Amino acid sequence: MSTATDEILEKLKTLSLLEASELVKQIEDAFGVSAAAPVGGMMMMGGAAAPAEEVEVQTEFSVILEEFPADKKIAILKEVRAITGLGLKEAKDLVEAAPKAVKEALGKDAAEEMKKQLEAVGAKISIK
């Protein structure tokens, strides 16, 4: 360290908490910076600090019936009824309203399993 930084460090060690707080405020005002800790922490890149981006992990999925071939409608309707527990009319309305969510707020494994079941009878399915 240089002598100048050593001197500044020694002076900082003698400050009271109130004086240190005032110093931080003055530095923030003078340089237009914030001493607040960023949400998500900091990541060092090339010597410069950059805020880390938080990645939101999806935990709930919806199984969407995108479309179905007309000749497979009855088989798909039966599978939708078995999966959802809907009555015949409600299942028919759901299938005919494609693209429509068959089930929502499912875990990833359950959504994948449901997708396989519906694709096995000819439906085009997406998971969102």
Specify the CATH number of the domain 61-127: 3.30.1390.10
How many whole angstroms separate alpha carbon 90 and alpha carbon 98? Answer: 13
Q: Positive or negative, the Cα torsion across 108, 109, 113, 119? A: positive
- Model's pTM, two decimal places? 0.52
Q: Where are the domains of the chain?
A: 3-51, 61-127
Instruction: Assess whether pLDDT exceeds 60 at residue 76.
Output: yes
pLDDT at position 55 is 62
Q: What is the pLDDT of residue 114?
A: 87
Per cent of the chain over pLDDT 90 is 1
User: Model confidence over 19-70: pLDDT tens digits?
Assistant: 888 888 888 888 888 777 665 555 544 545 545 556 677 778 888 888 888 8
Contact 83, 117 (CB under 8 A): yes
> Which stretch of 12-21, 55-64, 83-92, 98-107 has the lowest confidence by average pLDDT?
55-64
Q: Residue 26 in 3-state DSSP? A: helix
Of the candidates 73, 79, 115, the one whose C-alpha atom is nearest the C-alpha of residue 98 is: 73
CB-based contacts of 105, cutoff 8 Å, min separation 6: 60, 61, 62
Going by C-beta distance under 8 Å and a sequence separation of 6 or more, which residues neighbour residue 53?
Answer: 40
